[in-house]
A and B are shown apart, each in its own frame.
Chain A
Amino acid sequence: MRERRDIATRLRPEDPPGGDVLVIRGGPDTAGTLGQDAARTAEFWALEGVPLLGISVFAVLGMPLDQLLRDRFSRFSVIHRLQASYLAEFQLLPTFRSPHFTVRLQQANAEELSRLLAALGAPILNPEYHEVSDDPREAG
């Protein structure tokens, strides 16, 4: 059996985003999907020897929102868009390649997942998503 990977080796030396920075997550999420994703992350990653319950988000840092949506979220018809301040109760870890962050949960129980879902807000249409017809006759 393999050990969990230590996410400390993948932390960037930077502070969490300021409260007014936009944060994006491809959706739509429910408390159930958030719990599944957090549990999956915990199977793969650990921090300080503890399984890391976390979900992925991206901050709008270093590139405009439309570029981030094109580069990272073109497969998502809807996204969650919020200010980082809405995630103030959670630890935001600067993980992997900027502008990726991991929202760390403590227990990922129903109450915490419900609060996270409320913080993410209702999903909105992704303006950079372009549905493709699967009819080959419409291929260009």
Chain B
Amino acid sequence: MPYVVDITADLNDDDGSGEIWALLDEARDPSQIEIGALVVAGREHAAAMCEVTGIESAPTRGTLVILRVLPGLVEDYRRAASRALMS
């Protein structure tokens, strides 16, 4: 499934802590990126649900965004939400 991500990130990046890094200027809507926000990060062909855990000034490109990669697939969250919201 192609994804429309909230923020571009490389899911190959893994510093061993479960966190990856991104840049705010690669967010689709930067106003959605705030500490604690749940976002879809990655690219069209590979994405993950993530929690924004850090926002810092970047050395040269504005703002860094630290993301904690949550377990499972994006589709798992969609299915869980669908079950919860089913009337």
How many residue pairs at the A-B interface have CB separations less than 8 Å?
Answer: 93
Please indicate the chain A residues that have their CB under 8 angstroms from the CB of B11 in the complex. Answer: 26, 75-76
Cβ contacts A to B, 19 pairs, < 8 Å: A1-B57, A2-B64, A4-B59, A26-B46, A27-B45, A33-B43, A36-B8, A36-B26, A37-B12, A39-B61, A43-B60, A57-B12, A74-B73, A75-B73, A76-B11, A132-B73, A132-B75, A132-B76, A139-B83
Q: A26-B46, A57-B12, A77-B45 are in contact. Are A134 and B75 (CB under 8 A)?
A: yes
Give A77 to B42 CA distance when docked, in angstroms: 13
Query: How many of chain A's residues touch chain B, expressed as a range?
Result: 35 or more
> B35: shortest Cβ distance to chain A, in Å?
15
Q: A10-B15, A40-B10 are in contact. Are A2 and B57 (CB under 8 A)?
A: yes
Give A43 to B62 CA distance when docked, in angstroms: 10
Interface size on B, residues (CB 8 A): 35
Please indicate the chain A residues that have their CB under 8 angstroms from the CB of B58 in the complex. Answer: 1-2, 43
> A76: shortest Cβ distance to chain B, in Å?
5
B1-15, CB under 8 A of A: which get 1 and which 0? 100000011111111
Residues of A within 8 A of B (CB): 1-4, 10, 25-28, 33, 36-37, 39-41, 43-44, 51, 55-58, 72, 74-78, 95-97, 100, 131-134, 136, 139
